[in-house]
Structure 1
Amino acid sequence: MLPPVLIISISIVAIEVVVGFIGNGFITTVNIINWIKSKKISSADMILIFLSTSRFILQVTVLMHIHSLYFADVLKLESVYKDFGAVWMFVNHASLWFSTWLYVLYCVKIIKVTHWLLLKIKHRIAGMIPWLLLGSLVISSMTSLPLLWITPSTYLCSSTGNCRENSTVHITNWDSSYLYLLVLYFVGCFFPLVLSVVTSALIITSLWKHRKTMQCYTDSFRDAMIDVHLTAIKSIISFLILYISSFVAQILLILSTSESKDVVKVAISLVVAGAYPSMHSIILIIVNSKLKLAFRNFYLLCFIK
C-alpha cells in the first residue's frame, strides 16, 4: 500500500500528464495541419513537432507507470522493465535536446552577432535544424540503450515513486544500477541544460537591452513592443525555472531510491519533475501567436458555438 502523501503526489502527476496530453497533442496537431496546408514548414515549427511528440510519448510512459502502481505489476518483469526504462530515458533526453534547439534557434535569430563564424551559423541554422534533431535522437539513444544491459533492479519504479515493500527505496547502500542510472541521466541532461541556460541568458539580455532602447520612443507601438519583450522574457525565465527544477527533482528521485526513506521528498520531487513537460507546453501555446490563435479559434468553436 502506497503512503497517502505519495498517492496524492501521483494523483497530481496524473493531472499534469492529462494537461500535457492536451497541450502537446494540440501543438503537434496544429503544426502538422499547417505543414500539410502550406506544404512547407519553418525550423521552429519542425522543432515544435519533434518536441511535443517526444513529450507526448514521455507522458504516455509516465501514465503507464502510474497505472502499474495502482492496477498491475507488469513492470516487475525483467524484460519489460528494461525496455520501459530505456524508452523513458530516450524520450526524456530527446525532449530536453529538442527544447534546447528551440531556444538556440531563437537565440541565433534574436541576438546581434558580428563574428564571421556566428554569422555563418545564423545564415545556415535553418538547414542545420534537421541534422541537429537527428543528432539529438542519436545522442539520446547512446544515453538510454545502455539501460538494456544494466543488471535489473527496481531503479525505474523507485525513481518514479514506487515505494512498495519490495522496492529498493528500503535499500540504504548504493547499488551499481543506481550509479549507472544516475550517470546516464546526468550525462544525457547536462549538456542540453548548459546550452539552454547560456542561450536563454543571451536571449534575455538581448531582449532587455532592446526594451531599454524602445523606452526612448513615445508611442503606442513602443508600448506594444515592450509588452511583447516582457512576455518573452517571462516565458524564458519560466522555462529555465521549470527546466532546472525538473533536472534537480529527477536527480533527487534517483538518489532517494538508494539512500533515503523520505517519502515526502519523493512525493514533492515527483510533482516538480512532472510539471516541466506539461507546463512548458502551455507556455509555448501562450507565447506563440500562431498556436495562441489556433487555440482561441478551437475554444470558440467548441464552447461558444
Structure 2
Amino acid sequence: LLTELFGELIFGILGNGFIGLVNCIEWAKNGKVSSADLILTGLAMSRIIQLWVILLDLFIMGLFPHLYATRNLTTVMTLLWTLTNHLTTWFATCLSIFYFLKIANFSHFFFIWLKWRVNRGVLGLFLGSFLLLPINLLMQDTVSEWWMNTYGVSERNMTLHLDVNIILYLKIFLLSLTHVIPVLLSLISLLLLFLSLVRHTKNLQLNLTGRDSSTEAHRRAMKMVTSFLLLFTIYIISTLLATWSFMKVQKYQVMMLFIVISTIFPSGHSFILILGNSKLRQIAWRRLRRFQFFERNKTFSFIDII
C-alpha cells in the first residue's frame, strides 16, 4: 500500500505541478492570465500542499502515533488539513460553476446577470466560502481536543468506547457538513448544463444543423463536472471510512487502504483537467514527444524537456 500511495503522491504532484508551471510561465510571458487558468493554478498549488500534508500525516501516524496525544502537533495538522481541504474543494467547485456560467445558455435575467459578472461572481463565491472556514476550524479543533483526551485515557476506563463513538459521529458530521454545499453547487451546475445542452440540441434539430462548437463545449464541461463529482464522492466516502478505521478498528493497514483510495481525487483529477483543457493537453503532448525524442538519443536534461 505504501508503494501505491507514494506512486499516487508523485503522480499527483507532477500533474498539479505541470498545471501550475504552464500557467505561471504563460502569465510571466504575457503578463496576464485568464480566470479559468487562475482557478486551475490555485487548485493545483493547493493540491500539491494537500498531498504533502497527507504524506506527513501518514508518516507520523505510522511511525510516531503517540505524538498525536500532544496538543501542538494535533492543532497544526488539523489546521493544515482543514485549510488545504477547504481550498481544494472550493477551487474545484468554483471551476465547475465557472464552466457552467461560461458555456450554458439561458434567457432568464438572473442567469444573464451572473453570466456578465462571472468573474466577480466566482470570486465572491470563493471569498464567501471563507466565512465557513473559522466555524469548521473551531469545530475540528474541538473534536481533536476531545480525541486527545480520549486517547490519553486508560483502556480500563469504561467511557472510552462511548467517547470514541461520539468523536467518530462528530467527525463524520463535520466532514459531511463541510462538503454538502460544494457538492450541491456542483450538482446544480451539472444539471443546468445538461438542461442547457438539451435545449441547445433541440434548437439545432429544429434548424436542421449538426453538432457545433457550443455542443462540444457543453459535453466537455459536463464531463469535467461529472468527473469532479464522481471523484469527490469517492474522496468523501473513503475519508470517512479512513476516520472510522482509525478510531474504531485501529488498523493502520485498513486506514492506509482508504487513504490510498481517497488520494485518487487530488492526484487523478489533475490529469483529467489536463486532458479536458486543450491548451494543457497540447503542451503535455509536445513535452511527451520531446521527452521521447531525447530518451531515444539518451541526451537530455530537465531544462531541455521544459
- TM-score (norm: length of structure 2): 0.78
2:119 corresponding residue in structure 1? 126
State the AA in 2 paired with 1:58. Answer: Q
**2:162 aligned counterpart, secondary structure:** coil
User: Which deviations, in whole Å up to 9, do the C-alpha atoms of 1:204-226 show, x marking residues without a partner?
Assistant: 443455467668546xxx48887
Match of 1:105 among 89, 98, 108: 98
Distance 1:298 1:211, change over 3 A: farther
Q: Is the 8 A contact 1:214 1:226 kept in 2?
A: no
Q: Identity percentage over the alignment?
A: 27
Match of 1:285 among 274, 293, 302: 274
State the AA in 1 paired with 2:189. Answer: T
Q: CA shift at 1:230, angstroms?
A: 4.9
Q: CA shift at 1:47, angstroms?
A: 1.0
- Where structure 2 has 5 or more consecutive residues not aligned to the other structure, the ranges are 295-306
State the AA in 2 paired with 1:286. Answer: L
Q: Is the 8 A contact 2:234 2:262 kept in 1?
A: yes
User: Which deviations, in whole Å up to 9, do the C-alpha atoms of 1:234-292 show, x marking residues without a partner?
Assistant: 44332221111211222222333444568786454323211111111110000101111
Match of 1:65 among 36, 48, 57: 57
Pairing of 1:163-202 with structure 2 (within 5 A): 172-175=161-164, 176-202=166-192
1:116 corresponding residue in structure 2? 109
Instruction: Please say which of residues 10-19 and 199-208 is displaced more in the overlay.
Output: 199-208
1:42 corresponding residue in structure 2? 34
- TM-score (norm: length of structure 1): 0.79
Q: Is the 8 A contact 1:111 1:206 kept in 2?
A: yes
C-alpha separation between the residues in 1 aligned to 2:168 and 2:279? 43
| Number of aligned positions between the proteins | 281
- Structure with the bigger RCO (C-alpha within 8 Å, sep 6+) is 1
Distance 1:283 1:127, change over 3 A: same
User: Which deviations, in whole Å up to 9, do the C-alpha atoms of 1:78-127 show, x marking residues without a partner?
Assistant: 31122102210221122111111101011111211222122111101112
Supply the RMSD in Å over aligned alpha carbons: 3.1
- Where structure 1 has 5 or more consecutive residues not aligned to the other structure, the ranges are 1-7, 158-165
Q: Is the 8 A contact 1:44 1:102 kept in 2?
A: yes
Q: Is the 8 A contact 1:173 1:259 kept in 2?
A: no
Instruction: Please say which of residues 52-61 and 199-208 is displaced more in the overlay.
Output: 199-208
State the AA in 2 paired with 1:237. Answer: T
Distance 1:116 1:208, change over 3 A: closer
